[in-house]
Structure 1
Amino acid sequence: MDDLGFADDRPIEAHDQDLLGRSTFARNLAAAIAGWKNKESLVIALTGAWGSGKSSIKNLAIQEFATNPSHEVIEYNPWEWTGQEKLSSSFFNEVSLAIKRKDKSEDGKQLAKVLRQYGRKLNASAVLMEGFAKYLSLFLGSALVTSYLSFLTENPIAQTVMIVLSGGSALAASAAALKRLARFLSDRAEGLDQSAKENELTLSEIRGEIRTLLAKREHPLLIVMDDIDRLSPDQMKALFQLVKGNMDFPNVVFLLLFQRDIVEQGLELAGFKGAEYLEKIIQAPFSVPALSTERLEAVLFERLNAILTNEPQLAGKFDTDYWTGVYRKGLSQFFHNLRDVYRYTSTLAFHCRLLRGADVAEINAVDLFALECLRTFAPASYDAMPQHKVALTGSGLLMRQDQTEKGRITDIVQSIVALAPQDYRSGVEQIIKQLFPTLDWVFKNTTYDGSTHGRWLRESRVCRVETFDRYFELALPISEVSNSLLHSLTMLLPDSERFCDILRNQNEPQQKAVLDRLESFIDEFPIDQSSAVLETLLNAGEVVHGGESSITTVSHPVQVFRLLRFFLLRNDDLTARSELLLRAFEKAKGYLVMERMLGLESSHRRKAEPTDLDDAGYEKLKLMFVADLLAKANLDPDAFLAHWNFISFAYRLNDFADGAGSQWIKQQVTTLKRFVLFAEAAVSKGTSYGGNGAATFYFVRIATLEDLLGIEACQRWMEQIQRAELTETARRAIDLVEEALGKHQRGEKSDFD
Structure 2
Amino acid sequence: MVVRSRSEHNQEERVIVGDEPVNSENDILGRRAIASQWATAIEQATAPRGLVFAVTGPWGSGKTSMLNMIEEDLSSKDIQVLKFNPWLFSGTDQLVSFFFGEMASQLEYGNPKQQKIASALKKYGALFSPIKIVPIVGTALSAAAEAAAAAGKFMEESQSRGIQEQKSTLADALEDLEHPVIVILDDLDRLTGQEIRDVLRMVRLTGAFPNLIYILSFDRQRVELALNEDGLPGRAYLEKIVQVMFNVPDIAPGDLHSILFAELDRIIKDLQYSRFSTNLWPDVFIEIIAPLLSTVRDVRRYVAPLRTVLSLLDNSIELTDVLALEAMRIFLPDTFSLLSSAIPGLTTPAYNTHDNPSLAEQVRAFIDSDEQHQAVLHALCMRLFPASKLRLGMNDRYGSDSAAAWLRERRVAHPDVLSFYLQLSMPASMKSAVTAELLFDHIEDEDFLTQAFNELDPPQVEQVVTTLESHQNEFSSIDPEPAIVALLNQLPRLRRPAKGFFDIGPDIVISRVVYRLLLPTEDPNQVLEIVRRALPRVVQYSSKLVLLKLIGHRKNAGHKLVGEDEWKALEEEVRSEVRSAGATDLAREWDLLRVMWWAGIEDDPHTWIIPQTHLDEPEFAKQLLGTAVTQARRQTMGSRAVDISDQLAWEPLLEVVNREEGVRRCRDAAAATVGEKSPLIQLVDKYLEGWRPPEF
TM-score by length of 2: 0.51
Name 1:401's counterpart in structure 2.
353
Name 2:502's counterpart in structure 1.
none
State how far apart, in whole Å, the 1-side matches of 2:48 and 2:89 are. 30
Which digits, 9 at most, give the CA deviation of each residue in 1:399-437, with x for residues without a partner? 4236xx497654332111233x44333212211111123
The structure where helix makes up a greater share of residues is 1
Specify the SS of the correspondent of 1:37: coil
Specify the SS of the correspondent of 1:461: coil
1:319 is aligned, of 265, 273, 277, to 277
State how far apart, in whole Å, the 1-side matches of 2:413 and 2:154 are. 75
1:130 is aligned, of 143, 147, 150, to 147
Name 2:422's counterpart in structure 1.
472
Name 1:424's counterpart in structure 2.
373
2:208 is aligned, of 248, 260, 263, to 248
Work out whether 1:411 is the aligned partner of 2:411.
no
Work out whether 1:28 is the aligned partner of 2:34.
no
CA offset at residue 100 of structure 1?
Answer: 3.2
Name 1:297's counterpart in structure 2.
257
1:377 is aligned, of 327, 331, 337, to 331
Name 1:225's counterpart in structure 2.
185
State how far apart, in whole Å, the 2-side matches of 1:112 and 1:388 are. 62
1:392 is aligned, of 329, 343, 346, to 346
CA offset at residue 189 of structure 1?
Answer: 5.3
CA offset at residue 43 of structure 1?
Answer: 0.7
Name 1:48's counterpart in structure 2.
57
Task: Give the letter aligned to residue 242 of structure 1.
Answer: M
State how far apart, in whole Å, the 2-side matches of 1:262 and 1:41 are. 25
Specify the SS of the correspondent of 1:329: helix
Matched residues, number: 399
For the structure 1 residues 203 and 371, does the alpha-carbon distance in structure 2 shift closer, same or farther, using more than 3 Å as the test? Answer: closer
Task: Give the letter aligned to residue 119 of structure 1.
Answer: G
State how far apart, in whole Å, the 2-side matches of 1:376 and 1:234 are. 29
Name 1:445's counterpart in structure 2.
395
State how far apart, in whole Å, the 2-side matches of 1:48 and 1:339 are. 13
CA offset at residue 367 of structure 1?
Answer: 1.4
State how far apart, in whole Å, the 1-side matches of 2:291 and 2:143 are. 51
CA offset at residue 370 of structure 1?
Answer: 1.4
Which digits, 9 at most, give the CA deviation of each residue in 1:116-135, with x for residues without a partner? 44434556987762376x6x
**Contact 1:20–1:295 at 8 Å: present in 2 too?**
yes
CA offset at residue 230 of structure 1?
Answer: 3.9
Specify the SS of the correspondent of 1:460: coil
For the structure 1 residues 188 and 22, does the alpha-carbon distance in structure 2 shift closer, same or farther, using more than 3 Å as the test? Answer: same
CA offset at residue 277 of structure 1?
Answer: 0.5
For the structure 1 residues 210 and 302, does the alpha-carbon distance in structure 2 shift closer, same or farther, using more than 3 Å as the test? Answer: same
For the structure 1 residues 272 and 88, does the alpha-carbon distance in structure 2 shift closer, same or farther, using more than 3 Å as the test? Answer: farther
Task: Give the letter aligned to residue 271 of structure 2.
Answer: E
CA offset at residue 242 of structure 1?
Answer: 2.9
Which digits, 9 at most, give the CA deviation of each residue in 1:302-361, with x for residues without a partner? 22112210232x32x4222310111101111222223332333233322211222xxxx4
**Contact 1:65–1:73 at 8 Å: present in 2 too?**
yes
Q: For 1:131-530, what aligned pairs fall within 5 Å after superposition?
A: 190-192=156-158, 196=160, 200=161, 203-204=163-164, 207-208=167-168, 210-269=170-229, 273-312=233-272, 314-315=273-274, 317-356=275-314, 361-395=315-349, 399-401=351-353, 405=355, 409-419=359-369, 421-441=370-390, 443-446=393-396, 456-465=406-415, 467-474=417-424
**Contact 2:17–2:304 at 8 Å: present in 1 too?**
yes
State how far apart, in whole Å, the 2-side matches of 1:388 and 1:99 are. 59
Name 1:73's counterpart in structure 2.
81
Which digits, 9 at most, give the CA deviation of each residue in 1:441-465, with x for residues without a partner? 5544345799877654542222245
State how far apart, in whole Å, the 1-side matches of 2:331 and 2:361 are. 22
Which digits, 9 at most, give the CA deviation of each residue in 1:140-164, with x for residues without a partner? xxxxxxxxxxxxxxxxxxxxxxxxx
**Contact 1:330–1:430 at 8 Å: present in 2 too?**
yes
State how far apart, in whole Å, the 2-side matches of 1:126 and 1:459 are. 71
For the structure 1 residues 271 and 130, does the alpha-carbon distance in structure 2 shift closer, same or farther, using more than 3 Å as the test? Answer: farther
Task: Give the letter aligned to residue 56 of structure 2.
Answer: T
Work out whether 1:17 is the aligned partner of 2:26.
yes
State how far apart, in whole Å, the 1-side matches of 2:90 and 2:338 are. 44
Report which of the two structures shows the higher radius of gyration computed on alpha carbons. 1
Work out whether 1:99 is the aligned partner of 2:103.
no
**Contact 2:367–2:377 at 8 Å: present in 1 too?**
yes
Which digits, 9 at most, give the CA deviation of each residue in 1:691-725, with x for residues without a partner? xxxxxxxxxxxxxxxxxxxxxxxxxxxxxxxxxxx
For the structure 1 residues 89 and 459, does the alpha-carbon distance in structure 2 shift closer, same or farther, using more than 3 Å as the test? Answer: closer
Name 2:453's counterpart in structure 1.
none
For the structure 1 residues 271 and 96, does the alpha-carbon distance in structure 2 shift closer, same or farther, using more than 3 Å as the test? Answer: farther
Specify the SS of the correspondent of 1:469: helix
For the structure 1 residues 223 and 458, does the alpha-carbon distance in structure 2 shift closer, same or farther, using more than 3 Å as the test? Answer: same
Task: Give the letter aligned to residue 327 of structure 2.
Answer: C
State how far apart, in whole Å, the 2-side matches of 1:209 and 1:242 are. 19
State how far apart, in whole Å, the 2-side matches of 1:467 and 1:91 are. 54
Task: Give the letter aligned to residue 415 of structure 1.
Answer: A
CA offset at residue 81 of structure 1?
Answer: 5.4
Identity within the alignment, % = 28
For the structure 1 residues 206 and 449, does the alpha-carbon distance in structure 2 shift closer, same or farther, using more than 3 Å as the test? Answer: closer
**Contact 2:345–2:359 at 8 Å: present in 1 too?**
yes
Which digits, 9 at most, give the CA deviation of each residue in 1:613-633, with x for residues without a partner? xxxxxxxxxxxxxxxxxxxxx
**Contact 2:51–2:213 at 8 Å: present in 1 too?**
yes
State how far apart, in whole Å, the 2-side matches of 1:392 and 1:329 are. 18
Name 2:464's counterpart in structure 1.
none
**Contact 2:186–2:218 at 8 Å: present in 1 too?**
yes
Q: For 1:612-691, what aligned pairs fall within 5 Å after superposition?
A: none
Specify the SS of the correspondent of 2:178: coil
Task: Give the letter aligned to residue 432 of structure 1.
Answer: C
State how far apart, in whole Å, the 2-side matches of 1:380 and 1:249 are. 49
State how far apart, in whole Å, the 2-side matches of 1:123 and 1:389 are. 57
**Contact 1:233–1:269 at 8 Å: present in 2 too?**
no
**Contact 1:237–1:270 at 8 Å: present in 2 too?**
no
Task: Give the letter aligned to residue 147 of structure 2.
Answer: E
Name 2:135's counterpart in structure 1.
none
For the structure 1 residues 87 and 383, does the alpha-carbon distance in structure 2 shift closer, same or farther, using more than 3 Å as the test? Answer: closer
For the structure 1 residues 110 and 334, does the alpha-carbon distance in structure 2 shift closer, same or farther, using more than 3 Å as the test? Answer: same
CA offset at residue 258 of structure 1?
Answer: 1.9
Which digits, 9 at most, give the CA deviation of each residue in 1:671-708, with x for residues without a partner? xxxxxxxxxxxxxxxxxxxxxxxxxxxxxxxxxxxxxx
For the structure 1 residues 422 and 395, does the alpha-carbon distance in structure 2 shift closer, same or farther, using more than 3 Å as the test? Answer: closer
Q: For 1:717-736, what aligned pairs fall within 5 Å after superposition?
A: none
Name 1:594's counterpart in structure 2.
none
Task: Give the letter aligned to residue 72 of structure 2.
Answer: Q
Task: Give the letter aligned to residue 418 of structure 1.
Answer: D
